[in-house]
Amino acid sequence: MNDEFAMWIEKAPATAPSSSDIQALLRDAIGAYTDGRGDDAERRAREILVQQPDHLAGLQILTAVAGQTGRLPLALRIARHAVSSHPNHVSPHVQLANLLREDGDLAGAASELDLALQLQPDNAGAHNDRGLVLLAESQFERAIDCFAEALRIDSSCGLTHYNMALALEALGSLPAAMERYQEAARLRPNLVEAHYKLGLLLEEEGYRKRAIECLRAAAALRPGTAFARLCEARILGFEGDDLASEEFVRRAILLEPRKSDAHAMLGTILMQQGRFDEASASFDLANALNTHDILGPVGLVEVKRLSDADRPLIGQLERKLGNPAITGHEAALVHFALGKAYDDIGEYGHAIGHFDQANSLKKRVKNKYYNPAVHAELVDRLIRRFTPQFFARNKDAARAWDAPVLIVGMPRSGTTLVEQVLSSHPDVAAGGELAFWPDHAPEFGVDREGRIDPAWIRETQAAYQTRLKQISPTARRITDKLPQNFHNIGLLYATFPGARVIHCRRDPIDTCLSVYFNNFANGMDFSFDRQWIVDYYEQYARLTEHWRNVLPPAFLLEIGYEDVVAAPEPFIRQIIDFCGLQWNDACLRPEQNQRVIKTASVWQARQPIYRTSVSRWQRYEPWLGVFNSLPRQANLKMGAS
């Protein structure tokens, strides 16, 4: 033992216990450490080491206390002494490795863990910690191998399941990561990070009910903290209480003013409310507080149209792609942001390159695949089922109610613009993208004679009326703007023939290119592959042609995006008239509609109606590829049916 270390050890308290029995001192030290009484644990450990300077447990307790109280250099000195005194014991190598990893010496940590595993190849903790070193080095696949070996030895360790989930998420295997987070939370119910991370992934994949449960569990484990308030803010956002969500984020910021993710979340909320200048300030602050994170700069790209003056921001995002620790999910977000940035400044070759990279990464990260054959089979079934004869056979089961207005079409076809226009009318409430019909359609069934199950239709009618009246109990019309509801138009007509459907159509190539350029949250598993987008579009066109042939004009109105932006007033008047409403001039100023928007069109919907997105595909003509197989707009019938 060196002299400096010996002098430090001998600083034992003047009031040492009368008993010099090392085992009693060790029991006291362990008890104090377990109870969180670091000073007492350190005092007892020193007393042990005064009597037996190389006592391994005493050295390790002292190391742990020094590490937990921010004295990392001291902890490293003690841990190195423990290793030199007990080179053939596994635990001092593992403890030193963890301290070296904390100090940023990943090579040294790996070396100590390799020695530990040479001494004891079946040590689950050493395999787990070796995985953590590899995780810090962004060697995700090798880290997964280490965690898998640790779990083979001891499958009951919740922390190892959690670490495995981190590696799987970083690699892009989200379903597998969710399973591991769930197992970690089961084995260690107090592991707040497992509940939180699982909630975020469930949110990403569209399982909002389960996400809320996880976020509530996480918040309950840290009551009164900024973290808990951010969890509650997310939940309130899911539930549509956006003002309360904003308030909870602001409370979190009061508790922890330098919490960058809180400022980024506030920026997103403000952006959805159309408060772009305030949102930009929040994203700017998030970026300044944490230059390693991506949420701030990505938000700054989303909240405005960029110009040459924003090249420093573009350069910052480009540099983030060079960070070896960036995950596949984060890299996809950065590529989407850079694609949008280069599109804004007119560098279309750079833009399409980043969009290609973004979608390739997202395809890997999502780990789920669109199946064109399954989609074609679904469209076949819908066409065979929903015929004029079917509607006539079930007309007595329908309910007379004319409040719903479904706005459908391909994503990025102008559905948000139409909802902005309609909900500017004082008699209309905006429902946004409701999941009601996709949730209820799978339970739809008929008997041998083609009659709808009476229990299903009664329950569905009551549930839909309840859901829309929650949005507004007094509005004459309530919009339901989920584009993919073009699958469910026949179901709506069989259930509520007095409802209305507005089908938004846009140039096929512009539509599909815009889908490819946007990072959709969930439910769009066709959107990150060009051929899948084309296949999806072709099935959409086939099904909407069927609806055009079997549904009455009073139920279905078709509106061309290009027609609306070229001469807004006559087509907006047509929409208002179709919905049975008196004219209101506010409908000509949809950009002034202050409702919260949570779709990919959040920025565009706040702008006056513009034409710059018409024939946008021409800017990308050299790179269209399979999109060239789509028909041009001139070949399509547009306007009202």
Instruction: Report the CATH fold assignment for 372-635.
Output: Rossmann fold (3.40.50)
Asked if residue 102 has pLDDT above 50, the reply is yes
pLDDT at 603: 47
Residue 177 pLDDT grade (very low, low, confident, very high; cuts 50, 70, 90): very high
Q: How far is CA 73 from the centre of its chain?
A: 39
pLDDT at 568: 87
Give percent of the chain above pLDDT 90. Answer: 61
Cα angle vertex 285, ends 283, 291, to 5°? 90
The domain ranges of the chain are 1-121, 372-635
**Which residue do the tokens 């804004």 mark?**
344
Neighbours of 453 (CB within 10 A): 15
Select from 398, 424, 561 the least CA-distant residue to 483. Answer: 561
pLDDT at 543: 97
CATH number attached to the domain at 1-121? 1.25.40.10
pLDDT at 350: 96
- 488-509 pLDDT per residue, tens: 999 999 999 999 999 999 999 9
Least confident of 139-148, 495-504, 539-548, 587-596: 587-596
Asked if residue 476 has pLDDT above 80, the reply is yes
Least confident of 221-225, 384-388, 524-528: 524-528
H/E/C letters for each residue in 385-400? HCCHHHHHHCHHHCCC
- 234-276 pLDDT per residue, tens: 999 888 788 899 999 999 999 999 999 999 999 999 988 888 8
**C-alpha distance across the termini of the chain, in Å:** 91
- To the nearest 10°, report the CA torsion of 579, 509, 513, 559: -10
Contact call for residues 610 and 444 (beta carbons, < 8 A): no
Could you give the 3-state DSSP secondary structure of residue 404? strand
- Mean pLDDT computed over every residue of the chain: 87
Contact call for residues 55 and 22 (beta carbons, < 8 A): yes
Asked if residue 609 has pLDDT above 90, the reply is no
pLDDT at 16: 46
- 316-372 pLDDT per residue, tens: 999 999 887 788 888 999 999 999 999 999 999 999 999 999 999 888 766 567 899
pLDDT at 22: 77
Most confident region among 187-191, 563-567, 611-615 by mean pLDDT: 187-191
